[in-house]
Each structure stands twice: as C-alpha cells, then as structure tokens.
Amino acid sequence: MSPTSYRARGHAYETLGDFEQAKTDYERALLAARQAEDGRLEWQSILDLGVLWTGRDYKRAGAYFQQVVDLSVQLGDAELHAQSLNRLGNWLLNTGQAAEALATHQEALALFEAQHDQPGMAETFDLLGTVYSLGGDPINAALMYGRAIEVLRVVDNRSVLCSCLAMRATFACPWSGFMSCTLNWSFAQCERDVVEALQLAREMQWAAGEAFAEIMFGGICASFGQFGAGLAHAQQGLRLATEINHQQWCVGAPGSAGAPAGALSCGDWAGGGTRTGFGLLDHRVPLRPGRGVCSSGRDSAGRGGAARDAVMGQEPESGDGALFFPVRPGRARSGATAARTRAAPV
C-alpha cells in the first residue's frame, strides 16, 4: 500500500475510535514516506500521529508537533509551517503556556492571511477562540468561533465546523459568566448550534465529535436550569467516550454533569465535576503515568495540578494547579491537505 492509502485507512480508524489500528497505519505511512523521501507526506504522517496521541498521551503528542514545525522549516513550505505552528500553539495552550500559544497562533494567522488561505484562516480563528476562552474572555472566544464558522461553511470543512459550533454555543451561553460577561445568548440560539454540531458528527460517524457535543450540550442545558436534560446529555457523552476509550472526554463529562446532578441530587454525579472525573480515571478508564489529560478545572480540594501532573508523567509542582481547558476533537487542515478533522478538537 502507498503512504496515502495507509493515511486514509488510519484516518478512517481514528474517526471510528480505533486508536491502535489508526496508530499502526499512520506509522506505516510515515515509514513509507521516509523511504520514498517524500517530505510532504512525511510531514502529514507525523502530524497525524501527533493529533492521534492528543487523546492518549499529551507529552508524546507535543513531541510530534515540534517535529512537524522543524520539518516544515527544513522543507521551506510556508503553508505547512503555518499549519505546524497552529498544532504546536494548541498544544502549548493546553499545557498551560497561554502567552506562547497566542503568539504562535498569531504568527500562523499572519502567514495564512499573506497567502489568502481561507481554510488556514478558519483553523486559526478556531484556535484563537480557544486561547480567549482559556484566558477568561468568553465574548471574544464566541466571536472568534463565529468568524471561523463563517469561513468553514464556505470551504465545507464539516468536522472543524462541528467543533466550532459546539464551542460557540458553550461560550455564548450564561454558564461562561463565571469568568466574566458573555454574549448571553438565549437557549434557542445555543441549542441551534449544538444540535447542528451533533447532526454533523453523526453524519460523519465521528464518535469523539459526537461525545464532545453531547458533553457541551449537558453544560448548556444546566446553564438554563434544564438539569434533567443536562444530565442526560452529559451521561450520553460519557457513554460514547467510554466506548471508544477517549480519556479526555471521560474526564470532561462529569464536569459537565456536576451542576445538574447536584441540583437533582444524583449521587455519584454530584459533588464536583473534576473530582468525579478523576474518580472515573481510577475506576472506569485507568491511566498509566505518561498519558496526558486536560481537564476543565480543578476540584474543590485543590488537587487539579497534582492529578494533571500524575497523568502527564511529570513531578508535581508546588502550589495550586493551572486551569486547563479540554482539547477539542477536531483538527483543521488547509490547502492540499484533506480536512478530517481534527480535527480537533484544539
């Protein structure tokens, strides 16, 4: 088989949630690309592996993303360099390096704008939305996702559109106001976006994207006092995530379910989202050291940083843990590269 065929099959396995088969095909594609001395295919195969590993081992994913940045410089390809910067920038953000992430994405955006590359600009707007969301600015986050959505509809990138719709709804609804002011959308507006995201994920048979949208829908419903519906959506997101062993969403689902469960007094689901999430790591999807997970907060006992360091395979640092935001399931690809997403989603 050719490197392109291995990549296509690996992408299919990844979409279906089969990590091991996807990894095997991406590694075969990488080996074949190097044997053929095809630099662009080598770059694509390394990127595929980096994105795949974001759901299992964030430290390992970062090593792959640095490799694609270095290779893009060696190849002298501005398009690939901009895409590489975006992958690295999203990784930087989700490892607590927000200032570096912002600068990296801005560098990528400038390169895409100089090339009038609409898919690349949409990808970067999406990722900048994540930077603003983590920086406590839900208004600019939602507006940035809106800019991405406009372009994504034009270029017909359904997978990244799916994640952006879910993210805009999340940061336009009142529950994001714990950080600052929001766009204060109505429930109907938020529901419209997240229902479209779910429909897109199901049409693509994209299990990780569907799980993510369900989890976000749970928090949105809770934001408007619809606790029963919120708990149901969060539980469905957890079921989907558990089926494909997507450890990030297995941790994220209880965070979304915590508020409605508390309001409904639903036993183990109440009492703090991330505390329940880390309990799931212990009892449902055990993690070995070195597997990376980013959670959307810290538990009430202040153990977020220590738990994060444990799953990242790092020594705990003194002081309280940093606030992490989940990586989305999508990945944007521009130019000659096919869009699958995940995209994800950063």
Together in a domain, 112 and 223: no
Considering its fold, how many domains does the chain have in total?
A: 3
The pLDDT assigned to 328 comes to 52
321 and 335 belong to one structural domain: no
DSSP 234-253: HHHHHHHHHHTT-HHHHHHH
Check whether residue 213 and residue 317 sit in a common domain: yes
**Gap between the Cα atoms of 251 and 237, Å rounded:** 11
DSSP string for 113-146: HHTT-HHHHHHHHHHHHHHHHHTT-HHHHHHHHH
Look up residue 159 and give its two tokens.
């997978």
Task: Give me the sign of the Cα torsion angle 202, 284, 247, 187.
Answer: positive
Which parts of the chain register pLDDT below 50?
261, 263, 265, 267, 269-327, 330-346
Residue with tokens 């479209």: 196
Local structure of 321: helix, strand or coil: coil
- 147: helix, strand or coil: helix
Last residue of a domain, one of 20, 49, 76: 76
The amino acid sitting at 35 is: Q
Domain assignment present for 237: yes
| 221 and 322 assigned to the same domain | yes
**Residue length, the chain?**
346
Question: pLDDT, tens digit, for every residue of 4-22?
Answer: 999 999 999 998 889 999 9
Q: Do both 183 and 169 map to the same domain?
A: yes
Nearest to 124 by CA among 110, 139, 136, 114: 110
Claim to verify: residue 61 and residue 135 sit in the same structural domain: no
Alpha-carbon distances, residue 131 vs 68, 203, 235, 245, 260 (angstroms): 21, 29, 27, 27, 27
Q: Is 198 part of any domain?
A: no
The reply to whether 313 and 341 lie within a common domain is no
Question: Buried b / exposed e across 294-320, counting CB within 10 Å, b at 16+?
Answer: bbbbbbeeebbbebbebbbbeeeeeee
Residue 208, CB-side half-sphere exposure with 13 Å CA sphere = 35
Chain centroid to CA 203: 19
What is the pLDDT, as a whole number, of residue 177? 54
Last residue of one domain, picked from the residues 31, 47, 76: 76
Find out whether 164 and 145 touch, Cβ atoms under 8 Å.
yes
pTM, entire model? 0.64
DSSP class per residue in 31-92: HHHHHTT-HHHHHHHHHHHHHHHTTT-HHHHHHHHHHHHHHHHHHT-HHHHHHHHHHHHHHH
Q: Closest Cα to residue 213, out of 246, 260, 174?
A: 246
Q: Is residue 298 situated within a structural domain?
A: yes
Q: What domain range is 114 assigned to?
A: 90-191+331-346
C-beta pairs of 79-82 under 8 Å, 24+ apart in sequence: 79/111, 79/115, 79/117, 79/120, 79/334, 79/335, 79/336, 80/40, 80/43, 81/111, 82/107, 82/108, 82/111, 82/112, 82/115, 82/117, 82/120, 82/124, 82/334
Residue 84 lies in a domain: no
Q: Are residues 124 and 25 in the same domain?
A: no
Specify the pLDDT at position 255: 61
Residue 34 belongs to a domain with what CATH number? 1.25.40.10
Secondary structure letter of residue 327 according to DSSP? P
Q: Work out the number of other CB atoms within 10 angstroms of the CB of residue 36.
A: 12
For residues 164 and 242, membership in a common domain is answered with no
How far, rounded to the nearest angstrom, does the alpha carbon of residue 250 sit from its chain's CA centroid? 13
Beta bridge partners of 330: 344
